[in-house]
Chains A and B, each alone.
Chain A
Amino acid sequence: MERKFDEELNNLKEKMMQMATLAEESITLAVRSLKERNEDYAQQVFRGEETINLLDIEIDNLGMQLFALRQPMASDLRLITATMRIAVELERIGDMAVNIAERSLELLKQPPLKPLIDIPRMAEIAQQMVKDAIDAFVNKNDELARSVCGRDDEVDDLNEQIFRELLTYMMQDPKTIEIAVELILVGRHLERIADHATNIGEDVIYFVKGKTIKHHFEV
């Protein structure tokens, strides 16, 4: 039976998915700005973040309103809770993309250190994690959500690798330090994005199964 309440829940979900699309795009744009040394892409990230923030506030208000007015229970309760938590993660992902775009603008002032290979790879995995986590939410697929959580280690390893490589550049030539530090930070931001995607995966499992697996805690 379709309830009036379902319309309101769908509205909440749609806002969250809109936010997710923007967050994914901003990861792509930020890294493309970096790779192609293009300022426009970075500016697009900044503009996108404003919309993400607005959606975050809207989702927060709508969620609170549904709690107060509908006293949701069971899967309705878990849906609203999970959506509000996911929105927090997406907002942070948006912030990370902005940080990467800012690093990109700094790096534009300097000649390129080396062709970027691992960073775009890392970005691709992190972005796919966000996408899969949201798909898992939409399709109530807890297996896919679990696979997102499993991919976090891959990103951590790549981040380590990037760090070690850049360290060798800095040791060989102190003039590269400024650029290398910027790139290390980019790696760090991408690693954080993957962490947020993992959190989304955990929220999806909570939504689908009613189980908490946060902090390696299985109920």
Chain B
Amino acid sequence: MIPEAKIEAKKLDFYYGHKKALNGISMVAPKNKVTALIGPSGCGKSTFIRTLNRMNDVIPGTRVEGQIIIDGVDIYSQRIDVVELRRRIGMVFQKPNPFPKSIFDNIAYGLRINGIKAKNKIEEIVEKSLQEAALWDEVKDRLRENAFSLSGGQQQRLCIARSVAVEPEVILYDEPCSAIDPIATAKIEDLIQKQREKYTVVIVTHNMQQAARVSDYTAFLMLGELIEYGETPKLFTNPENKLTEDYITGRFG
């Protein structure tokens, strides 16, 4: 059955003002597995993924009910240090968002603010992170160049390198490939599949084939409700719910 949970949502409701965006979501993201969230636009998948590292906190007028348990601790409880939480739970966004700094400094920045000062230690982690993001070979001779000189796909891998540099436990991807070309997409998908060895991954994607390719578990959301959750091969070959069937076969969109 479903292995040990890294993240567990329990009866999670989410409100933007009076509007309820998530309605009683209960599901897990198993440890060292890739969990994909799919569903039509406005179904709440991005809202949901942003509750996992409290990114929604910065949006005024939002409210959470229910629980998000990570390693047995409710991350919405009073004693949680949100900055530390976001170090443990990294995030990669739809559009690559490197800092307006050099390639090197994009990664070194997070290390420095996390208290790593030794130059050789920083260099070592920068290289290791770029290797892990399959970008090292392409940028090793131009680390001092501005990050915006990279292509979109390279920038996105730089963002992945930046997120893994601080040794997170979970990586959240919010439509990481929607702004990049198919070759770069394939590279990032390959990365995500390898990342499950070290991290727990949660990915929101509009591309169902991408969910099918990279994930172990898939959750299908619609209008803020969890319609179906299960092992990816089962969900895409023989879904239980008629709504899931209709959505993944393109009978409605």
Residues of B within 8 A of A73 (CB): 208, 212, 236-237, 248-249
Are the C-beta atoms of B237 and A78 separated by less than 8 Å? yes
Are the C-beta atoms of A75 and B245 separated by less than 8 Å? yes
**Is A77 interfacial (CB-CB < 8 Å)?**
yes
**Is B251 interfacial (CB-CB < 8 Å)?**
yes
- B48 vs chain A, min Cβ distance (A): 22
Are the C-beta atoms of A74 and B252 separated by less than 8 Å? no
**Is B60 interfacial (CB-CB < 8 Å)?**
no
Task: Report 22 cross-chain contacts, Cβ distance below 8 Å, ordered by A residue.
Answer: A1-B251, A1-B252, A3-B251, A71-B209, A72-B249, A73-B208, A73-B236, A73-B237, A73-B249, A74-B238, A74-B245, A74-B248, A74-B249, A75-B245, A75-B249, A76-B249, A77-B236, A77-B237, A78-B237, A78-B238, A210-B237, A210-B238
Q: What is the 8 Å Cβ interface bit string for chain A, positions 159-197, against chain B (1 contact, 0 not)?
A: 000000000000000000000000000000000000000
Chain B: residues with CB nearer than 8 A to chain A?
208-209, 212, 236-239, 244-245, 248-252
- Most B CB within 10 A of own CB, among A71, A75, A77: A75
Residues of B within 8 A of A71 (CB): 209
Chain A: residues with CB nearer than 8 A to chain B?
1, 3, 5, 71-78, 210
Kindly report which residue of chain B lies nearest to residue A5, judged by CB atoms: B250
Are the C-beta atoms of B250 and A3 separated by less than 8 Å? yes
Residues of A within 8 A of B208 (CB): 73
- B166 vs chain A, min Cβ distance (A): 36
- B82 vs chain A, min Cβ distance (A): 38
- B248 vs chain A, min Cβ distance (A): 5
Residues of B within 8 A of A77 (CB): 236-237
Give the CA-CA distance A1 to B246 in the complex, in Å.
9
Of all A-B residue pairs in the complex, the 9 with the closest CB atoms, nearest first, are: A210-B238, A73-B248, A74-B245, A73-B236, A76-B249, A1-B251, A71-B209, A74-B249, A74-B248
Residues of B within 8 A of A5 (CB): 250
Residues of B within 8 A of A74 (CB): 236-239, 244-245, 248-249
Give the CA-CA distance A77 to B236 in the complex, in Å.
9
Give the CA-CA distance A210 to B239 in the complex, in Å.
9
- A72 vs chain B, min Cβ distance (A): 8
- A177 vs chain B, min Cβ distance (A): 52
- A197 vs chain B, min Cβ distance (A): 24
- Most B CB within 10 A of own CB, among A1, A3, A73, A77: A73
Give the CA-CA distance A78 to B239 in the complex, in Å.
11
Kindly report which residue of chain A lies nearest to residue B252, judged by CB atoms: A1
Residues of A within 8 A of B237 (CB): 73-74, 77-78, 210
- A54 vs chain B, min Cβ distance (A): 30
Residues of A within 8 A of B244 (CB): 74
- B185 vs chain A, min Cβ distance (A): 14
- A89 vs chain B, min Cβ distance (A): 21
Give the CA-CA distance A1 to B249 in the complex, in Å.
11
Kindly report which residue of chain A lies nearest to residue B208, judged by CB atoms: A73
Kindly report which residue of chain A lies nearest to residue B253, judged by CB atoms: A1
Give the CA-CA distance A76 to B252 in the complex, in Å.
14
- B12 vs chain A, min Cβ distance (A): 27
Kindly report which residue of chain B lies nearest to residue A211, judged by CB atoms: B238
Give the CA-CA distance A76 to B238 in the complex, in Å.
10
Residues of A within 8 A of B249 (CB): 72-76
Give the CA-CA distance A1 to B252 in the complex, in Å.
7
Give the CA-CA distance A2 to B112 in the complex, in Å.
57
Give the CA-CA distance A77 to B238 in the complex, in Å.
9
